[in-house]
């Protein structure tokens, strides 16, 4: 299983300078930490700061890795309760283009 630092670095690589999301997003891994993506400004910033976000996705690190690796479908994960979305669901929907 990847460490929070490895997940954060991987997210930085996927997001790049400007992913076009135009919003803030937080992945909440519970006791395993936070990855916050500020894609509202350019260059985009990925950190482990627990800051407010337009959309928060609550998911375990295991499920996140499966999602990022293409082994878990986001819609299926949501329907099965493996990920929960708080805030602007439209932002979460745009993520498929980032992870695609």
Question: If pLDDT is split at 50, 70 and 90, which confidence band does 83 have?
Answer: very high
Q: What is the pTM of this model?
A: 0.92
Beta bridge partners of 91: none
State residue 99's pLDDT score: 63
57 close to 81: Cβ distance less than 8 angstroms? no
51 close to 26: Cβ distance less than 8 angstroms? yes
CA distance 36 to 53: 8
Question: If pLDDT is split at 50, 70 and 90, which confidence band does 100 have?
Answer: low
């Amino acid at each position: 299983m990847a460490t929070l630092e490895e997940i954060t670095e991987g997210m930085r690589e996927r997001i790049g300078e400007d992913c076009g999301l135009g919003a803030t997003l937080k992945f909440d891994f519970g006791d395993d930490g936070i990855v916050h993506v500020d894609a509202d400004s350019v260059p985009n910033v990925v950190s482990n700061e627990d800051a407010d976000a337009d959309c928060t996705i609550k998911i375990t690190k295991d499920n996140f890795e499966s999602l990022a690796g293409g082994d878990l479908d986001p819609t299926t994960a949501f329907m099965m309760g493996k990920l929960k979305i708080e805030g602007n669901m439209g932002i979460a929907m745009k993520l498929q283009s980032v992870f695609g």
